[in-house]
């Protein structure tokens, strides 16, 4: 009889495990739906990728596969180039890349949370952070800040795995992802300093840090960073000069900027805070109090507190000492552990959550996002907002058609007004390269002789006098006017006219 009950218990455990796994898969699928929703939300609300031109710049750099670029390290440009080696060159595909990047980061938050709490709560951590502007509206513009959303949570995850187990593979993975974080943006030194502080603050973690197995962390970092460090040395550290431009000023001004930065971070986390509270069926006031206390009382969960608050502390110290002219979006990736901290504190206090409510809450949230996005996109087009009217894809189509009509070939090189020229490179068949006519040193993969040998198209906005002057001198030709307009939401938007200079390929 005892054996029968033992057999029944084992069967029951396996059944419960299967049910739990099935439930986890269903809840994780919500994150995938979330990524799809935000892909279409971005497409509905934006007439172009981003008005500042960061996203087409990523592409123009990335297709050259350099170990570094004049303004930033190369990771986000590499990712963009890899994605568009298989994806169509469309806005929707680019927004999908942005959403996938955020999704990978949210899965990293789930994985990190699982090191401290049951699966059901770890998944809630990912869902709660998913509604924050950090992983939605801000994440849609894929750039050096956004790429950290996917890298930082996984770096922290491998850090915790190494601290908890001491395994060599986790140490090597930590070093590799720490290196990738630096390749994303040098600002990632904030994360590395915070992780080192966390490692030294906990006795067990400190012993692990000072062990010989930490050499595997260094090995992973060398693998990730070797090519970029070599590039830095050979090119005299150009990215450091760009980074140094954001420092300087008065000490009290820096303190004030950090205060504003902190208020912005609180704003970014309000929706996630509210999401967690709405999952609490009872004792909601007590839960809110504990969550707030968790931010200021490390003793409630020392390990997660170090991971959640460490980056913010390091940012504050470094920003004030360096008198940095900082932007609130620099903190996009730093809150990977804040929701796990809240949930761990609530769990330890015996406050129960109702994760099933997340499904209904997210469905309402998604409906509101799609309606709001369509409304924003329509109204922007109707009032002829610059981001809606600017016909970048249409300009690219017309420019490529004009080149093929005259040469019968694909356009090899484009230059001129930066955002317009980079857009022409992006909306292409993948063979058009960008050359910066104003700062040739920023595109060292091409020189002037390449333009006259292979041929090039130079396009300028009508009011870009520097571009017009340089393009005329380089091409030795008169400009050809090119007028295009965008059609959106059933409306024909105002026409824009550009000046196009053709540098015909050298005959062989």
Q: Angle at CA 439, nearest 5°, toward 434 and 445?
A: 45
Task: Tell me what pLDDT residue 11 has.
Answer: 38
Determine the average pLDDT of the residues in 484-494.
Answer: 93
Residue 245: what pLDDT? 59
Q: Which residues neighbour 453 within 8 Å (Cβ) at sequence distance 6 or greater? A: 505, 506
Q: How much is the CA Rg of the chain, to the nearest whole Å? A: 26
Read off the pLDDT of each residue in 398-407 and give the average, rounded to a whole number: 94
pLDDT at site 80: 97
- CA distances to 83, 152, 259, 408, 434 from 421, in Å: 20, 33, 39, 20, 7
Tokens of 370: 């799609």
Of 238 and 169, the one with more pLDDT: 169
Kindly state the percentage of the chain with pLDDT values over 70. Answer: 93
CA 447, CA 439: separation in Å to the nearest integer?
Answer: 11
Q: How far apart are CA 253 and CA 320, in angstroms?
A: 9
Q: Report, as an integer, the average pLDDT of 57-81.
A: 95
Sequence-separated (6 or more) residues with CB below 8 Å from residue 287: 276, 277, 280, 346, 351
Question: pTM value?
Answer: 0.92
Inform me whether the pLDDT recorded for 150 exceeds 70.
yes
pLDDT digits (tens, 9 = 90+) for 251-277: 777 788 889 999 999 999 999 999 999
| For residue 61, pLDDT beyond 90 | yes
Q: Residue 124 burial by CB count (10 A; 0-12/13-18/19+): exposed, middle or buried?
A: buried
pLDDT of residue 382: 93
Tokens of 138: 């801000």
Average pLDDT, rounded, for the chain: 91
For residue 386, the model assigns a pLDDT of: 83
pLDDT the model gives residue 249: 64
For 76: left if phi > 0, alpha if psi spans -120 to 50, otherwise beta; the answer is alpha
Residue 423, pLDDT > 90, answer yes
pLDDT of 254 reads: 79
Count CB atoms within 10 A of the CB of residue 447. 12
Per the model's pLDDT, the better-predicted residue between 413 and 7 turns out to be 413
Is the predicted pLDDT of residue 92 greater than 60, yes or no?
yes
Q: Report pLDDT digits (tens) over 349-378.
A: 999 999 889 999 999 999 999 999 999 999
Q: Is the pLDDT of residue 2 over 60?
A: no
Confidence check: pLDDT of 9 > 50? no
Query: Across residues 282-292, what is the average pLDDT?
Result: 95
Q: Residue 300 and residue 345: Cα distance in Å, rounded?
A: 7
Angle formed by the axes of helices 302-322 and 148-165, nearest 10° = 130
pLDDT of residue 328: 86
């Amino acid at each position: 009889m005892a054996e029968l009950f033992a057999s029944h218990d084992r069967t029951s455990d396996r059944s419960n495990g299967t049910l739990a796994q099935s439930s986890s898969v269903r809840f994780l699928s919500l994150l995938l739906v979330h990524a799809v929703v935000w892909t279409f939300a971005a497409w509905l609300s934006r007439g172009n990728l981003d008005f500042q031109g960061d996203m087409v710049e990523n592409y123009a750099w990335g297709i050259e596969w350099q170990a570094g670029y004049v303004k930033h390290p190369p990771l986000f440009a590499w990712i963009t180039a890899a994605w568009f080696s298989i994806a169509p060159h469309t806005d929707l595909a680019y927004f999908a890349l942005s959403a996938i990047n955020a999704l990978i980061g949210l899965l990293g938050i789930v994985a990190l949370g699982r090191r401290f709490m049951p699966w059901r709560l770890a998944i809630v951590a990912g869902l709660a952070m998913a509604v924050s502007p950090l992983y939605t509206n801000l994440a849609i513009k894929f750039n050096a800040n956004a790429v950290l959303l996917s890298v930082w949570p996984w770096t922290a995850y491998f850090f915790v795995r190494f601290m908890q187990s001491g395994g060599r593979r986790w140490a090597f993975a930590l070093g590799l992802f720490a290196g990738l974080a630096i390749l994303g943006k040098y600002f990632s030194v904030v994360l590395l300093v915070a992780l080192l502080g966390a490692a030294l603050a906990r006795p067990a973690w400190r012993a692990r840090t000072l062990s010989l197995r930490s050499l595997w962390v260094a090995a992973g970092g060398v693998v990730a960073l070797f090519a970029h460090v070599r590039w830095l040395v050979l090119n005299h550290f150009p990215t450091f000069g760009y980074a140094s431009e954001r420092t300087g000023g008065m000490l009290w001004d820096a303190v004030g900027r950090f205060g504003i930065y902190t208020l912005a971070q609180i704003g970014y986390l309000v929706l996630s805070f509210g999401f967690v509270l709405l999952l609490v069926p009872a004792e909601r006031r007590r839960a809110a109090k504990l969550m707030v206390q968790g931010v200021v009382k490390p003793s409630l969960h020392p390990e997660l507190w170090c991971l959640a608050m460490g980056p913010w502390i390091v940012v504050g110290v470094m920003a004030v000492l360096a008198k940095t002219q900082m932007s609130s979006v620099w903190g996009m990736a730093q809150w990977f552990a804040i929701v796990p901290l809240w949930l761990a504190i609530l769990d330890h206090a015996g406050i129960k959550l109702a994760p099933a409510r997340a499904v209904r809450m997210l469905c309402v949230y998604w409906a509101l996002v799609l309606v709001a996005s369509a409304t924003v996109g329509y109204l922007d087009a109707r009032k002829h907002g610059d981001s809606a009217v600017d016909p970048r894809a249409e300009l690219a189509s017309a420019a490529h058609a004009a080149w093929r009509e005259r040469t019968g070939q694909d356009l090899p090189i484009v230059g001129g007004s930066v955002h317009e020229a980079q857009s022409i490179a992006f909306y292409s068949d993948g063979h058009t390269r960008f050359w910066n006519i104003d700062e040739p040193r920023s595109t060292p993969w091409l020189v002037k002789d390449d333009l006259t040998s292979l041929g090039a198209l130079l396009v300028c906005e009508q009011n870009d006098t520097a571009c017009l002057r340089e393009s005329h001198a380089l091409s030795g030709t008169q400009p050809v006017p090119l007028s295009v307009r965008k059609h959106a939401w059933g409306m024909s938007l105002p026409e824009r006219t550009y000046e196009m200079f053709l540098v015909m390929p050298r005959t062989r």
